[in-house]
Amino acid sequence: MVESPYLVSPDSKFKLSKYSTDETKPFKDKADAADAIEKNLNKLVKLQDILYAQSKHAVLIVLQAMDGGGKDGAIKHVFSGINPQGCAVTSFKAPTTLESAHDFLWREHVAAPPKGMIGIFNRSHYESVLVERVRELVPEKVWSRRYQHINAFEQMLADEGTTIIKFFLNISWEEQKRRMEKRLADPTHNWKFSPDDLKERKRWDDYMEAYETALRRCSMPHAPWYVVPADHKWFRNWVLSDTIVRTLEELDLKYPPPLKHANRVKVE
């Protein structure tokens, strides 16, 4: 866990409404941040190469957001230089019949990254205390006990060598409206829009309450939550890349020791 103004402190009296969606400090604009973002992306490429070679740690990155929050764009930009062999993205949609027949964490456990890999969850096990809570797909007695199960699941992953970083991409009501309208206006982006998005938008306040509870109860030293100001995509990318790089730098990442007597090996 790295210190950050966007970190949800464990056991804090967390209020999501106190977190800005359009912050850009310490930068004046996108151009001002360009070098810092590029520097982070270059560092991430090098750190991931060592992570993959060493195969001692696994890294799990969880991305959650409201519709239009920028999860896909963040993945595309922040991980643009990553070696595909060392990175896997899993997008969690509505559970299949098979997935629903198991416990609510089964499909996430199957997708958890092995050592040496970065795993990215586009949505995650938190849908079970967000969508299922807000839509009343399960009764309160079911979703209310899941926070404890989630914390235990993430603790187990951390104990077994997985570094967990969780991001809530925090956009405003107004910015979501702009992004939805942009999708509708662009025929090449219409596929990203669903009429169900409007139904979910009407539940905005309920989702904010559900997110606030989830982030407050499940931000732990071994699996911290960060609330990312995401109205400006470039600033979102800087916060994500900066937090991920600083987290990886805290790990004991080293290339495997060189082969002994490599200079004596003859390749014929």
Q: What is the dihedral of CA 25, 28, 34, 36, to 10 degrees?
A: -40
Q: Kindly report the average pLDDT of the chain as a whole number.
A: 94
Taking only the tens place, the pLDDT of each residue in 147-170 is: 999 999 999 999 999 999 999 999
Residue 134 pLDDT greater than 90, yes or no? yes
**pTM of the entire predicted model:** 0.94
Taking only the tens place, the pLDDT of each residue in 23-63 is: 999 999 999 999 999 999 999 999 999 999 999 999 999 99
Q: Tell me, what's the pLDDT at 13?
A: 82
Among 106, 66, 77, 72, which Cα is nearest to 89's?
A: 72
Quickly tell me which residue has 């187990």 as its tokens: 156
Q: Tell me, what's the pLDDT at 1?
A: 77
Do the beta carbons of residue 172 and residue 231 sit within 8 Å?
yes
Taking only the tens place, the pLDDT of each residue in 237-254 is: 999 999 999 999 999 899
The angle subtended at Cα 158 by Cα 153 and Cα 159, nearest 5°, is 95
Separation CA 196–CA 202 (nearest Å): 10
The full DSSP string for the chain is ----TTB--TT----GGGS-SS--TT-SSHHHHHHHHHHHHHHHHHHHHHHHHH---EEEEEEEESTTSSHHHHHHHHTTTS-GGGEEEEE--SPPHHHHTS-TTHHHHHHSPPTT-EEEEES-GGGGGTHHHHTTSS-HHHHTTHHHHHHHHHHHHHHTTEEEEEEEEE--HHHHHHHHHHHHH-TTTGGG--HHHHHHHTTHHHHHHHHHHHHHHH-BTTB-EEEEE-SSHHHHHHHHHHHHHHHHHTS---PPPPPTTGGG----
Taking only the tens place, the pLDDT of each residue in 87-102 is: 999 999 999 999 999 9
Taking only the tens place, the pLDDT of each residue in 64-82 is: 999 999 999 999 999 999 9
Token couple for 254: 């080293």
Longest CA pairwise span in the chain (Å): 70
Taking CA atoms, 166 is separated from 61, 137, 179, in Å, by 6, 24, 23
Residue 12 pLDDT greater than 80, yes or no? no
Q: What is the assigned CATH class of domain 20-252? A: alpha beta
Separation CA 205–CA 208 (nearest Å): 5
Residue 186 pLDDT greater than 90, yes or no? no
pLDDT grade for 192, boundaries at 50, 70 and 90: confident
Residue 10 pLDDT greater than 90, yes or no? no
Q: What is the dihedral of CA 144, 147, 153, 156, to 10 degrees?
A: -130
Q: Where are the domains of the chain?
A: 20-252
Q: Tell me, what's the pLDDT at 187?
A: 87
Taking only the tens place, the pLDDT of each residue in 140-153 is: 999 999 999 999 99
pLDDT grade for 258, boundaries at 50, 70 and 90: confident
CA gyration radius, the chain? 20
pLDDT grade for 260, boundaries at 50, 70 and 90: confident
pLDDT grade for 268, boundaries at 50, 70 and 90: confident
